[in-house]
A and B are shown apart, each in its own frame.
Chain A
């Protein structure tokens, strides 16, 4: 059975995410990012940022809600029991600060089969309230036993 590729090129509705300072701090605490600029607005402003600023990998937090819609779409049809996160890339742009309102759009870039493995590649593009790109993510999920 050939792998289903109908969803290639499909984009999903943008998903909005309002950044709270507390969420940035919670994330920084968990991953061990110790700088005061992730906790204290004054420290962040002294370093040249508008407000408490997120560490780069906070991109996961505001991108994931948009990814969810794509991953669970039946047109994509991934078998979650056999899925692993295979690879990830982020390219960062404008820093993300507390009170930013981000919009993330996900597109299915490719679905390929190689040696019985299905490679599902999604791109997420996140922009802030001024239209500046904050991150571009490439998410590769691998599903075993697709043929």
Chain B
């Protein structure tokens, strides 16, 4: 069992969703909004192409925490804000810094970015360590 101190960084998670990922996420989650799966529709509403589901990117933030904890069910709370749009075929980088430790509960400040585009900001996660 890892012990955490305020200021510690969790291991960074890096993942590059492929071009087909938004469709697979749509089918797995049930969120079939065409801006994620229909290139023509996405372009017709002014987007450069299909965008990632924010909840997919949030799932990567979740995974960064459960992998750090070494327990797939360690996550007890996660709050995020969706800001920049995420795109397939670009690497997502999830970072998290411990901001509080209370007993076996660890609280982090966390975000996700693609290059300089911070797609998830002001995230706060709580997990058991």
Residues of B6-55 at the interface with A, using a CB-CB cut-off of 8 Å, are: 15, 21, 24-25, 27-31, 45, 54-55
Residues of A near B29 (CB, < 8 A) are 27, 30, 60-61, 64
Let me know if B28 and A86 touch, CB within 8 A.
no
Let me know if B55 and A57 touch, CB within 8 A.
yes
Residues of A near B4 (CB, < 8 A) are none
A71 to B17, CA, bound (A): 28
Shortest Cβ distance from B80 into chain A, in angstroms?
6
Please name the residue on chain B nearest to A25 by beta carbon: B28
A28 to B57, CA, bound (A): 14
Shortest Cβ distance from B83 into chain A, in angstroms?
9
A87 touching B72 in the complex, CB below 8 Å, given contacts A26-B28, A32-B60, A56-B66:
no
Residues of A near B31 (CB, < 8 A) are 60, 64
Residues of B near A69 (CB, < 8 A) are none
Let me know if B28 and A27 touch, CB within 8 A.
yes
A42 to B126, CA, bound (A): 28
Residues of B near A56 (CB, < 8 A) are 62, 66, 73, 75, 78
B109 on interface, CB distance cutoff 8 Å? no
A37 touching B80 in the complex, CB below 8 Å, given contacts A61-B29, A85-B54:
no
Residues of B near A138 (CB, < 8 A) are 79
A14 on interface, CB distance cutoff 8 Å? no
Which 9 pairs of residues, A with B, have the shortest CB-CB distance?
A: A89-B79, A31-B59, A57-B59, A30-B28, A35-B72, A56-B75, A27-B28, A87-B81, A57-B62
Let me know if A88 and B58 touch, CB within 8 A.
yes
Let me know if A91 and B59 touch, CB within 8 A.
no
A86 touching B45 in the complex, CB below 8 Å, given contacts A35-B72, A53-B73, A61-B29:
no
Residues of B near A30 (CB, < 8 A) are 21, 24-25, 28-29, 56
The contact string, 1 if C-beta is below 8 Å from chain B, for chain A 33-63, is: 1010110000000000000010111001100
Let me know if B30 and A57 touch, CB within 8 A.
no
Residues of B near A84 (CB, < 8 A) are 82
Residues of A75-122 at the interface with B, using a CB-CB cut-off of 8 Å, are: 81, 84-92, 95
- Given known contacts A32-B63, A95-B73, what 4 new A-B pairs fall within 8 Å (CB)? A29-B28, A55-B73, A60-B31, A85-B54
Please name the residue on chain B nearest to A36 by beta carbon: B72
A65 to B56, CA, bound (A): 17
A31 to B22, CA, bound (A): 10
A87 touching B24 in the complex, CB below 8 Å, given contacts A31-B59, A32-B15, A81-B45:
no
